[in-house]
Amino acid sequence: MTERLQKVLAQAGIASRRKCEEYITSGRVEVNEQVVTQLGVKVDPEQDEIKVDGRPIRLQSKLYLAFYKPKGVISSVKDPEGRKVVTDFVQQINQRVYPVGRLDYDTEGLLLLTNDGEFAQLLTHPKYHIPRTYHVTVKGVPHGDVLEKLKQGVELDDGMTAPAEVEYHDIDPDKNRTVLTMTIYEGRNRQVRRMLEAVKFPVVKLKRVQFGPIYLGGLSRGRYRELSQDEVKQLKAAAMESHNVQNTK
């Protein structure tokens, strides 16, 4: 059966579909010894020889992982500066996986890894608004009016954010620190940190504890577990549900 070339590449775990499209247009992909630069070409992965950067692709079983990313680790498969990356923690897996979205260098917590480009695209595409929940530690105790601003959305340099869900998780008067539970529905760069900075409560510590229906649970830093088929179905359903909700607004 024939499929679009970029879809076959994504299913083979090369990268997300969007990134695979870049590989094609930049001349890095060959089909039956011919360089392909046009999108929309259809191939049969069972019959056609497909190469990326001169290396044949291999169709592989799909893998979905929940990983506890430690602070000080890059959400990537490689880093030109030689810093630790998330795939350093899954080297015993004989399949290439990559992160679904990212957590910034100073943020820890739940990060999904996969070799399924279609799945990654579904969960990170801007038209889908899958909730992401964080425990956010700040100095001081934000008053209720501060939380109300976050709930209504705040103005950032790239526009007004969508409303967030925010509540007190823990207050430590001795250390003059507060932990908030905060859920956002967008995936902007460093969004939680920038929202808290906008209301004058810079983040001291940030930990993602939930992505859609998936919880960090009892995972230890640097450890991972494989998602069940039911959890994968729940994630896909959450993405589609969020898209349908947005379309009805």
Which residues are catalytically annotated?
A: 104
> In the chain, what's the furthest Cα-to-Cα distance?
68
Instruction: Enumerate the β-bridge partners of residue 99.
Output: 113
| 21, two tokens | 């499209």
d(Cα 51, Cα 74) in Å, to the nearest integer?
A: 28
| 109, two tokens | 């917590």
Alpha helix ranges (H) inside the chain: 5-11, 17-25, 117-124, 144-152, 191-198, 229-248
| 240, two tokens | 């589609």
d(Cα 230, Cα 36) in Å, to the nearest integer?
A: 37
Dihedral sign (CA 190, 195, 199, 202): negative
> Residue 232: which residues within 8 A CB-CB, separation 6 or more?
64, 119
Closest by CA position to 219, among listed 65, 64, 63, 68? 68
> Residue 111: which residues within 8 A CB-CB, separation 6 or more?
66, 67, 68, 69, 75, 86, 99, 100, 101, 102, 103, 208
